[in-house]
Amino acid sequence: MELSKLENQIIIDIYDADMLPGMPFEIQNYKLEEKDPHDKKQEFAFHLRKLKRLGFIKYEEAEAFLKGGSHSIKYDNNVKKVCEDKIHIDFEGIRLVEQANKTI
């Protein structure tokens, strides 16, 4: 499955946040398609779930997302808040970033 530029950047930023203390990993650092703040959180959570499913990142659902309110049909979630500090790089993500760094 091919990753978007946004998803690649998220993986790199999570890697940096885990490996280099003080590096920020925050939703506001990304140019998301949605304009509404609530919809942005649901869009961001959608990308994070995809990356987790593919083995690039890891998190506990209950710790990483605060859920409630309306369910987005487009993003298939009802995330109200994303706790970025609970999201970490996984083996495949480390491998992807380190391979990319070797080619630079």
Whether the predicted pLDDT of 104 surpasses 80: no
Report the CATH number that the domain containing residue 38 is assigned in CATH: 1.10.10
Q: Is 6 exposed, middle or buried (0-12, 13-18, 19+ CB in 10 A)?
A: middle
pLDDT tens digits, one per residue of 45-65? 999 999 999 999 999 999 999
Query: In which band, very low, low, confident or very high, does the pLDDT at 23 lie, cut at 50, 70 and 90?
Result: confident
Range list of H helices, 54-87: 61-64
d(CA 78, CA 80): 6
pLDDT tens digits, one per residue of 80-96? 999 999 999 999 999 99
Mean pLDDT of the chain: 94
Phi, psi of 72 (to 5 degrees): -80, 120
When pLDDT is averaged across residues 90-103 and rounded to a whole number, the result is: 92
Give the pLDDT score at 30: 95
Give the domain extent around 60: 5-103
Please count the structural domains in the chain: 1
Give the pLDDT score at 1: 66
When pLDDT is averaged across residues 18-36 and rounded to a whole number, the result is: 92
Query: In which band, very low, low, confident or very high, does the pLDDT at 103 lie, cut at 50, 70 and 90?
Result: confident
